[in-house]
Structure formats: C-alpha cells, structure tokens
Amino acid sequence: MEPNRAQQLAAQGYSSGRAVLLAVCQELGIENEAIPKIATAFAGGIGGRGDVCGSVVGSVMAIGLRHGQQEPWQQCDKAYALAQEFCRRFEQEMGSLCCRELTGMDLSTPEGRKAHMSSDVPIRVCLRAIGTAFDVVMELIERPDPPAADD
C-alpha cells in the first residue's frame, strides 16, 4: 500500500506527533509558523516517557485546529466528540493509545532509544500508528455532517 502523507513525512525523519500534525495541516492548507514545532516533544509519548502515542496527540491537536475554540465561550462539543471517536477507532485498530504498550519498549533512556531504532518497531509499529492516525483523523475532520453525538 502507498504510504500516506504522514508516513512520508515520518520517513523523512519527522517524529510521530510532528508528522501527523504537519500532514493534516498540509492536507487542509493550514500554514502556520507554530506547525509542526508545537508537537516537537511528543515522541515516544511525552518526551520519551511512554505515555499517549505522539501520533494521537498530533491528531487531537489537528482536531482542535479545525473544530476547536479560540474563545472560552465558544462551544467545543464537536472537537471533544471527534477526539473521543478518534481515540476509540485508533484503539480498535492499534490495540492501545499508549506508546509503551504499542512499542513494548522503554524510550526514556538513550539505550532504550538505540534499541528502538535498531529494531523493526519504528517500521512495524510506529509507521503503522502514524499512518492509521492520519487516515482516521482526516476522515473525521473532513466528514461533512457527523451523526448527532449521543452524549
């Protein structure tokens, strides 16, 4: 299968959070000096701590960019509903949202990162997570008329 835009960026060296956020923004024609810088430290979870996968954080940021609130009084129900749906579908496809569980590795140490880079995990797991996140978030963001949320 042809790699999608986020996977192509990842292959160029963009880490998961930056790859997904930048790919969505390119797709939507959003150019901004904060993108993808703002997602820098979301790789290997948060700064390598192994929490929520960077491609999930990048996707939730992208949902905020498209459907988020600029002022406190604006509604954010749509962004929340989409983010929840995104997480459910990512979890269904990948089994987990969590970097540690997805990779089965500890990326918080230099040794751990070396082991990660010399394994097949970046291709087998991370690239798939990045591709999945991008496909799911683009579908959700561009869906013209989402069914009314039950909650």
Partner 1 sequence: LLAVCQELGIENEVIPRVATAFGGGIAGRGDVCGTVVGSTMAIGLRYGREESWQPRDKAYALTQEFCQRFEEEMGTLSCRELTGMDLSTPEGQKAFYASDVPIRVCLRAGGTAFRLVMELIERPDPPAADD
What is the binding site for partner 1 (CB under 8 A)? 12-15, 18, 30, 32-43, 46-49, 51-52, 56-57, 60-61, 63-65, 67-70, 76, 79-84, 87, 97, 108-110, 151
Nearer to partner 1, 79 or 125 (CB): 79
Nearest distance from residue 99's CB to partner 1, in Å?
Answer: 11
Nearer to partner 1, 70 or 118 (CB): 70
Nearest distance from residue 28's CB to partner 1, in Å?
Answer: 12
Nearest distance from residue 104's CB to partner 1, in Å?
Answer: 19
Cα 96 to its chain centre, rounded Å, is 13
Nearest distance from residue 120's CB to partner 1, in Å?
Answer: 21
The pairs formed by 91-94 with CB atoms below 8 angstroms and a separation of 24 or more are 93/132, 93/136, 94/53, 94/128, 94/129, 94/132
Nearer to partner 1, 1 or 56 (CB): 56
Cα 50 to its chain centre, rounded Å, is 14
CA distances from 140 to 20, 58, 61, 107, 119 (A): 14, 14, 13, 30, 32
Burial class (CB in 10 A: 0-12, 13-18, 19+), 80: middle
Nearer to partner 1, 114 or 124 (CB): 114
